Amino acid sequence: MKPIELTKTEFIQKIGNVEAAPKDWKYVGDKPCIVDFQAPWCGYCKRLDPILEEFAQTYEGRLDIYKVNVDKEEEGKGKEKKGKKEKNVTKARQMMVTFTIPQNNSTPVGEKTIWLRITNPEGDLLPGGGSFEFEGATLPATARKSIEYAGEEIGGVTIYWDVNTTLTPGDYTVELFCDNYRLASRKFTLKK
């Protein structure tokens, strides 16, 4: 048996509705599970695949193993007041960015601050998250989140940004930074 790939809808049905209650959702499965938030291009994810397949065979019927392809699911989502996906970008009240931090044996363990920068279609940074040092310069941030890194992969890390400016339809760029490194850069589109 192989790990089961979940869409966002299937995740809500089998794991829990993190959109309805992002800070207080409940697990709905009937047995323990492992959820691997992965991407096809991720080398760490590919190395984890055979381990998860072995777990799926060894613990079949006692443990559910799922995969969520983060590239297939939206990375940035406009949110309305109650946390539901907002279809009209001009009414969005909160934005959510979800990502996985891969295992990295050369990174020191301990508390880490992940800095989020979101740039709108006009090239302006969405404000509100303080500032941080990167390559000798001080950069403003959209939001930030502190995590405890223990040298292991951390899936499903979420940073919320409360909309404090007018959002326009178009392509947005999301960048994540930590320890003077750019961890990721992705684009997503908000439509009117």
Q: Which is catalytic among the residues 6, 15, 45, 174?
A: 45
* Cα–Cα distance measured from residue 163 to residue 59, given in angstroms and rounded to the nearest whole number: 44
Q: Residue 159 burial by CB count (10 A; 0-12/13-18/19+): exposed, middle or buried? A: buried
**Chain centroid offset of residue 76 CA:** 8
Catalytic site includes residue 42 = yes
* Nearest alpha carbon to residue 161 among 123, 130, 138: 130
Q: Which is catalytic among the residues 12, 42, 139, 183?
A: 42
Sheet architecture: strand order including 170-178: 143-149, 110-119, 170-178, 181-190
Asked if residues 53 and 36 have their Cβ atoms less than 8 Å apart, the reply is no
Catalytic site includes residue 178 = no
List active site positions: 42, 45
